[in-house]
Homo-oligomer: A and B are copies of this chain.
Amino acid sequence: MRQLVLPRSFDGEPLLELEGKESQYLTRVLRLQIGQQILGLDGQGRKFLLTLTEIKNQSCTLSCKLVEPGMQVETTDTLPSYQGPYPNLVLLQCLCKGKKEEQIFRQATEIGATTLALVSSRYCVTDLSDKKDKAVRARFDRLEAQIKEALQQSGSPIATNLVPQVLDLRDVPSWWDGQGLAIFFHQSTRSEEQQTLTSLLKDHPLDKPVCVLIGPEGGFSDEECTFLEKEGFKPVVLKTNILRSETAGIYALAAIQVLLTQS
């Protein structure tokens, strides 16, 4: 663990008490000693320097200090040398099998995506609409657990956020609401004037969101493509083979992150 994902209830208090599993993880697995420090990340992406001040049988207490931009912190774990900036990447992934979704969202969190959401589209083989609420809730809980673990292990400064319901593809444009560049990936060229990823990202400000929409195994239908284009989503054909969903999302995020940060 390179950082602790702080509980949702935490709002910058000077002292934080952790109980149960999380307390045990810090004190028994990581064997953090009184006085030792670890970084914490809250849901808004704020970083806190946490110092272990008390260990009890079932709980522990940490003192919390907000890390201001530019402040040098030293913790018991080493941090990666790249500290940002990160592009604002939003991954909309059409539903696939549960295990694959977990892998995709885990890897997207590692890479530093800001927001992740599941989308249902015509050719999705997975359909959650006939599932019981409890089963859908359990699926989201597993995704949340993967995201939290990836945040803790990767030390990502981006507090990756999971949209808590499945978006219908028809509602995606209004949900996105023109926040920035929106791209959908497709296996064949849609028109002669279609732009490449490089030209779409040229002069794109790093902090302006980029939405990456990845289709299901069967791709998008022709009507879906036409609808997305009308709504301002740009089709992109990657200069590679046909990728499976779990490869396409990571490929696209890596490509965009590299094109926006490597200059």
- Residues on A facing B (Cβ under 8 Å): 2, 80-82, 86, 107, 110-112, 153-157, 187-189, 196-198, 237-244, 246-247, 250-251, 254-255, 257-259, 261-263
- What B residues does A240 contact at CB under 8 A? 82, 86, 110-112, 257, 261
**Contact present for A258 and B81 (CB under 8 Å):** no
Instruction: Give the most central of A80, A111, A112, A240: most B CB within 10 Å.
Output: A240
- What B residues does A255 contact at CB under 8 A? 254-255, 258, 262
Chain B, residue nearest A261 (CB): B239
**Contact present for A80 and B187 (CB under 8 Å):** yes
**Contact present for B80 and A242 (CB under 8 Å):** yes
In whole angstroms, how far apart are the Cα atoms of A8 and B262 in the complex? 41
**Contact present for A197 and B258 (CB under 8 Å):** yes
Contact of A241 (CB < 8 Å), options: B82, B247, B261: B82
**Contact present for A107 and B258 (CB under 8 Å):** no
In whole angstroms, how far apart are the Cα atoms of A210 and B243 in the complex? 21
Instruction: Give the most central of A2, A189, A251: most B CB within 10 Å.
Output: A251
Chain B, residue nearest A238 (CB): B82
Would you give 22 A-B contacts (Cβ < 8 Å), ordered by A?
Answer: A2-B242, A80-B242, A82-B238, A82-B239, A82-B241, A110-B240, A110-B243, A111-B240, A111-B243, A112-B241, A153-B244, A154-B244, A156-B241, A157-B241, A238-B258, A239-B262, A240-B257, A247-B250, A250-B251, A254-B255, A258-B258, A258-B259
